[in-house]
Chain A
Amino acid sequence: MNNEALFRYLLRLGDDSLILGQRLGEWCGHGPILEEDIALTNIALDLIGQATSILNYAGEVEGKGRDGDKLAFLRFEHEYTNLLLLEQPNGDFGDTIMRQFLFDAFRKPLFEQLIHSGDKQLSAIAEKSLKETKYHLRHTSEWIIRLGDGTEESHQRIQKSLDNLWRYTDEIFMTDSVDEELTKNGILPDLSSIRSIWEETVKSVFAEATITIPTNNWKFEGGRRGRHSEHMGYILSDLQYMQRAYPNMEW
């Protein structure tokens, strides 16, 4: 099997964790209540930790001497291949929770199946990350239901969050030659089977939250090919500032 496909897949997986973790980190000190401030930053920390394991492994697979830090801090925008969903601004607390829920509902079945991956290190990373992801999904599901089935104001606002973010969800399940090759080789599960589990989760949580999935939405994609929304550059300027200003600095 060719390592190029595995490397590119690991970048996608790692960039998803990295960029969402960076986004959540922006909540530090700004949460609506202390407990949520701590919860969001705890989730951010788990995601950054996952990104570290995944990108370090990506560097090994690539075999060109780049480690996780180099991959995280020293690539250009078009070389990041995270989902567009994850780079969207935090918005209000509901927007952040909705973005997180849509992602967690995907990550949990993905990690459950990646445990059976033919690639041992990927399987180990999935086994580790799944335990954390279960906590995240439970936390965000409960908030979606509370907000949706809460007050008139919270209901209307979380519905609006879903209306805005739904258009980014198709991209989660788009596949190309990278996924196809890895699925063929037993490294990656078939994403369509994960999509049906994801749909079941989001539908049942939205039903309980009394919010509805929008129809007729234009679908956005491009993240997997390195084509990002206008928000990405701002995220990277924050993320990369120290390494760009003081190359090779450590602390």
Chain B
Amino acid sequence: MVTTDQIFQWLEEVSDPEVPVLSVIDLGVVRDVQIEGTKVFVTITPTYSGCPAMQVMEDDIRSKLQEKGISDIHINTTLSPAWTTDWLSEKGKFKLREYGIAPPVNEVDKSVLFAAPPIVACPKCQSQNTRMVSQFGSTACKAHYQCNECLEPFDYFKCLK
């Protein structure tokens, strides 16, 4: 008899296709798992409305569960409560840094114009002397930064609140 804990554990093996170092659990997109008899219900939530990785994650979750011998799989999407970067696990933030992507830091409200960009530490040399190159980066969830000390260009997983 499979348990929800077991399913969560299996889903740790499904990675975000855009940031493969993160599992869908680290990313915080799996909201709920329910088991009813032989049926397994998984509820997921998108990071950004247009995130092209969501369909891939859904397919990967399905095939992972099939691989584990589950055939009656129901995946639903919920929009509320909306995903924010607070849903990223601490382990996920650590893995991001190791991978060379700066994890989100607390930012001022987006409605403040010309607010100084957040101080983001360089994931290579840890210097806080970095600059934002662009608010919009390689994917919807990232901004583009560069380190002024070691000159490393890097992605910052931007704060979404």
Contacts and interface: CB of A to CB of B under 8 A. Distances in A.
A247 to B, nearest CB: 21
B131 to A, nearest CB: 13
Contacts of A145: 113-114
Nearest to B111: A134
B46 A38 contact: no
A200 to B, nearest CB: 12
Contacts of B138: 38
Interface in A109-142: 120-121, 123-125, 127-129, 131-132, 134-135, 137-139, 141-142
Nearest to A34: B134
Using C-beta atoms within 8 Å of the partner chain, give the interface range for chain A: 20 to 34
B82 A45 contact: no
A56 to B, nearest CB: 10
A120 B46 CA distance: 17
B48 A132 contact: yes
Contacts of B140: 42, 45-46
Contact of B137 (A38, A47, A138): A38
Nearest to B112: A138
Q: Per DSSP, are chain A's interface residues mostly helix, strand or loop, or mixed? A: helix
Interface string A218-241: 000000000000000000000000
A242 B79 CA distance: 29
B48 A142 contact: no
A50 B50 contact: yes
A120 B81 CA distance: 11
B111 A142 contact: no
A30 to B, nearest CB: 16
A128 B113 contact: no
B51 interface: yes
Interface pairs A-B: 10 shortest CB-CB: A49-B50, A49-B49, A124-B80, A134-B110, A35-B134, A45-B50, A39-B136, A124-B79, A42-B136, A128-B82
